[in-house]
Amino acid sequence: MADWLPTLRTATPEEGYALAVKLARVAIRMTQPDAAVRERLRPEYAEDSGALIAVSQVVATHFATVAAANDYWRGAP
């Protein structure tokens, strides 16, 4: 996982949101490094509305950081 986060800058808000999703996933991968276990858990939480909302909460927290890092893309059109 070397060099997975060179910068928080993104060209657009959409790319910033995608980065937030990635940031949310990496902590899960670091806590559970076994890909087979993660694959086994995936269908479980992907069909659990509580888990889906909780993932969305993590993404929201990271998106706040990424958006601030990009000065909210104020220079964009």
**What residues make contact with a copy of itself under the rule CB under 8 A?**
3-9, 12-14, 17, 21, 23-28, 30-32, 37, 41, 44-65, 67-69, 72-74, 76-77
CB of 18 to a copy of itself, least distance (A): 8
Q: Provide, rounded to whole angstroms, the least separation between the CB of residue 12 and a copy of itself.
A: 7
Q: Phi-psi bin for 11: left (phi > 0), alpha (psi -120 to 50), beta?
A: alpha
**Helix ranges (DSSP H) in 1-77:** 13-31, 35-46, 49-69
Instruction: Indicate if the alpha-carbon torsion angle 38, 39, 44, 48 is positive or negative.
Output: positive
**Minimum CB distance to a copy of itself, residue 63 (Å):** 6
